[in-house]
Amino acid sequence: MNKINRIVFLGFCFFSIQVSGQSKIAIYLNDKKPVKERIEDALSRMTLEEKVAMCHAQSKFSSAGVPRLGIPEVWMSDGPHGIRAEVFWDEWNNAGWTNDSCIAYPALTCLAATWNTDMAALYGKSIGEEARYRNKNVLLGPGVNIYRTPLNGRNFEYMGEDPFLSSTMVVPYIQEVQKNGVAACVKHFALNNQEVDRDHINVNVSDRALYEIYLPAFKAAVQKGGAWAIMGSYNQYKGEHCCHNQYLLNDILKRDWKFDGVVISDWGGVHDTRQAITNGLDMEFGSWTNGLSWGRSNAYDNYYLAAPFLKLLKSGDVSEELLNDKVRRILLLIFRTTMNKERPFGSFGTEEHALAGRKIAQEGIVLLQNKGNLLPLNTSTIKKIAVIGENATKMMTIGGGSSSLKVKYEVSPLDGIKKRFGSSAEIIYAPGYTSEKNNKENLLQKAVETAKKADVVLVFGGLNKKENQDSEGADRKGLSLSYGQDELINAISKVNKNVAVIILSGNAVAMPWVNKVSSIVEGWYCGTEAGNAIASVLAGDVNPSGKLPFTFPVRLEDSAAHALGDYPGNGKDETYNEGIFVGYRWVDKQNIKPLFSFGHGLSYTTFKYGKVSADKKQLAADEDITFTLSIKNTGSRAGEETVQLYISDKKSSLPRPVKELKGFKKIQLNANEEKNVSFTISKEALSFYDDIKHSWIAEPGAFEALIGASSTDIRSKLSFELR
């Protein structure tokens, strides 16, 4: 018999396959054959043990391949803001590599605040290239869970309170990541809206709220973004953990949405072998913290989808077809990533990526308030700038849980300000407060003395990545700023009238001092180039154009999850009593005045909105309608404005929000330039989910199109009808 020794290059690994006879070379290695045929061929050659091994972890972030068949391992990395440092095989500790320092991108709240799909594409392209260079098959991100409460510790990883905004922004992120031959793993599916009791809390939510609020971004990720992977969430729904949930994974995701990718458990999110087998899970990770614990030589063999799964298969207690469906999906993932010969090589830690992150940050930073036009800072008259606050120097790329990064570098706000303003003004710094130790009075007094000496004061406050601030595993304790920041800002405002407060956070915060300071900026967590991005906006080198992706309430009780009293549940169950009335939908319903509205963001220029018109007054169910208006830059400098379209149903058989976001466009205008903006919608934008009929309904009747600069700043309205 003729022996053929085939060497296949897959990423960074070589696999040797010996096949007897030219005619028996594996079909799955022949890239001229259809992928489905190649998958079935590979499946037919695998043993039961090899198939099962592919369904569970073999290390912290990898699952087994089949070396004898040239089927590679699957390697994953935490995201969604950068590629996590390498860890030891069985431990969370960094492995000590010297070449795994990444570029940190802005938090996804900042990306959402750009309201710009081009920025989402740039983000996905850049982080996808970094993941590919590090030879990762799967990037564990992006996250699209809805901002239900400002106390959720992981809100900074998500894209805000509105399902339409999240749905629109997530699609180009996914598409561009996957062009690099890296799967985007969209998380956390579903209803993972708090960290308190996250491992077991059972969420009770109406079908209507589920379909209208909490599922749309995931659906868009699958059907429009073409996501190759989905991560289940820790919590329960309908009494089943979401990592093996019949209704979410089998009925909705795989049956209704036709998802052909892999469902990956969150690390430690699996709790039952039979449910993991039957209820839609494909790959199990992290079921024990340490893969060598519990006195076993290899605890991964004891995972729910490992030896217990194999035992049930061999006894005939479960069908091998259940296993084969999982392995088919995993093999398809491998063909899409490692075994894709067109897969590019990627790049890592480059200046191009850093500048991409800076551009995203610049577009996402939100100017919330600017009384007296303190900003942009006038470098011709300002000779001394006081920078106050621990957040001016604190690293924000580390901490926060799974999104913590080992970065190539991070520019602090203080360093960015020194670089931008240091040649024209003296920069003086005082911490003002600290999250590490308690010498509050001394720090406050020194900060006040520093502020007295300055022409302008920049206070950098907000949250950080410590527990109970913005961090995985723990929610915030309240809406207020910690570490005595409110007292600090009040004291500074008494000695200097030119105060700008820059909030670094992924969440809304209370601002009892809002009327005592001139300017307020939401500066987010902006990654590697944070300081340079913030400084460029403060200086006016970049005109701020970010808009809030969630509502800033005046007080916690103005948030529906708290007003209706069930957050964070009773330790076992939590009911979303507010239903569909999340964020601005609740604000509108209750006629509450927010601190800062959803969609709000100021500019250093001004824009005049024209009157909206439509191409028809009535539309049939199979027609579209187009709304058009003019926008003019009436200021003296170029700027960008995000025009927002909301739709109001004037009469409905079920309660509906006062209005809902159904379109947005970000346009750039030079001084005195005018452009037309158009939005085209269909009956889909007019529909609601009827949880009695279990279908989407667009009822004939009167509607209203509202054009706004925010959810509470409506500039033009137009009535129309659905026939």
Q: What is the set of active-site residues? A: 266
Alpha carbon 238 to its chain centroid, in Å, reads 25
The closest alpha carbon to 611, from 477, 705, 497, belongs to 705
Q: What is the DSSP string of 93-142?
A: SB---SS--BPPPPPHHHHHHH--HHHHHHHHHHHHHHHHHTT-SEEE--
Q: What is the DSSP string of 482-526?
A: STTHHHHHHHHHHH-S-EEEEEE-SS----TTGGGSSEEEE----
φ/ψ region of 613 (left if φ > 0, alpha if ψ in -120 to 50, else beta) reads beta
- Count the helix, strand and coil residues of the chain and give each as a percent rounded to the nearest 5: 30, 25, 45
CA within 13 Å, CB half, 106: 36
Beta strands 519-522 and 62-63 are unpaired
Exposure string of 510-548, with b = 16+ CB inside 10 Å and e = fewer, is bbebbeebbbbbbbbbbbbbbbbbbbbbbbeebbbbbbb
Two structure tokens written together for 145: 């869970």
Two structure tokens written together for 425: 């003004």
The closest alpha carbon to 488, from 505, 501, 476, belongs to 501
Alpha-carbon distances, residue 15 vs 33, 67, 262 (angstroms): 20, 6, 24
Two structure tokens written together for 271: 């709790």
φ/ψ region of 104 (left if φ > 0, alpha if ψ in -120 to 50, else beta) reads beta
Q: What is the DSSP string of 375-409?
A: PSP-TTT--EEEEESGGGTS--SS-SSTT---BS-
Beta strands 13-20 and 3-10 are antiparallel
CA within 13 Å, CB half, 431: 16
Alpha carbon 532 to its chain centroid, in Å, reads 23
CB 469 within 8 A of CB 461: no
